[in-house]
Amino acid sequence: MKPFVSPSILAADFANMQRDIEMLNSSEADWIHVDIMDGVFVPNISFGFPVMKAVKQYATKPLDVHLMIVDPDRYLKAFKDAGADGIMVHYEACTHLHRTIQAIKDLGCRAGVALNPHTNVRLLEDVIADVEQVCVMSVNPGFGGQKFIHNTYKKIRELRTLAELHNPKLFIEIDGGVDVSNASKLIEAGANVLVAGSSVFSAHNPLDAISALKNTQPL
Ligand code: DX5
Ligand code: ZN
């Protein structure tokens, strides 16, 4: 099966957001990845509800919302109301992760957990059956355009093994430094959702860049 592609609008032109969303609408992208940063969990601030609502107004594809914020429980309903289809919280930001996952599901959203590069995938063993998506960060979250961390391949293989045991339908998403040079190897390792910010939006032809990711063949 072809991987899902979730371009990150963190790398879009914020002064031409409608144009860039319409480009994504007409592309082979499956989801639109929305990076929310609070300046506390990560050392950067991206954007909040008004921008997300504006994106939702034009987007015809589901919004894949990545919350890089502390205490996400406070805002889950607000993100649902702003148009989130899937909501991912960080393992490192949730004291009561099981409760948070249930709250996301109760809102009718796809529930996901994101892991920082240093967080071992085995820590998810007791919740993996409850989530629909795990996002393996292949950079330290906070900024687009960073260098891909090589240890990610090993984490994907371990997560795929865990998923085969407990949740074979799990979406395994990779976020950070993804481009056509590593996509095949990521899929070969067991990933099935590719997030791409700079490699899409800085491409000469973003539609072709998305298509190339969508049509990646495993090695
Ligand atoms: C990083 C964000 C990523 C980022 C990816 O904190 O979570 O989604 O936008 O950007 P690239 O593809 O440029 O690494
Ligand atoms: Zn992200």
**pTM of the predicted structure, to 2 decimals:** 0.98
Q: Tell me, what's the pLDDT at 167? A: 98
Asked if 185 contacts 219 with a C-beta cutoff of 8 angstroms, the reply is: yes
- State the Cα–Cα distance between residues 175 and 158, nearest whole angstrom: 17
Give the DSSP H/E element, type plus range, for residue 176.
none
Q: Based on the residue annotation, tell me whether 35 is a catalytic residue of this protein.
A: yes
Does the annotation place 66 within a ligand binding site? Answer: yes
Helix %, strand %, coil % of the chain (to 5)? 40, 20, 35
Task: Give 4-214's CATH code, choosing from 3.30.540.10, 3.20.20.70, 3.40.1390.10, 3.30.70.3000.
Answer: 3.20.20.70
Q: What whole-number percentage of the chain has pLDDT above 70?
A: 100
Apex 146 CA angle, 145 and 147, nearest 5 = 130
What are the residue boundaries of the structural domains of the chain, listed by start? 4-214
In the chain, the DSSP E strands lie at 4-7, 32-37, 63-68, 86-90, 110-115, 133-137, 171-175, 193-196
Does the annotation place 48 within a ligand binding site? Answer: no
Most ligand 1 atoms within 8 A of CB, residue of 143, 147, 173, 200 to mutate = 143
pLDDT digits (tens, 9 = 90+) for 133-186: 999 999 999 999 999 999 999 999 999 999 999 999 999 999 999 999 999 999
Query: Which residues lie with the beta carbon below 6 Å from any ligand 1 atom?
Result: 8, 10-11, 33, 35, 66, 139, 141-146, 175-178, 195-199
Ligand 1 atom closest to Cα of residue 141: 6
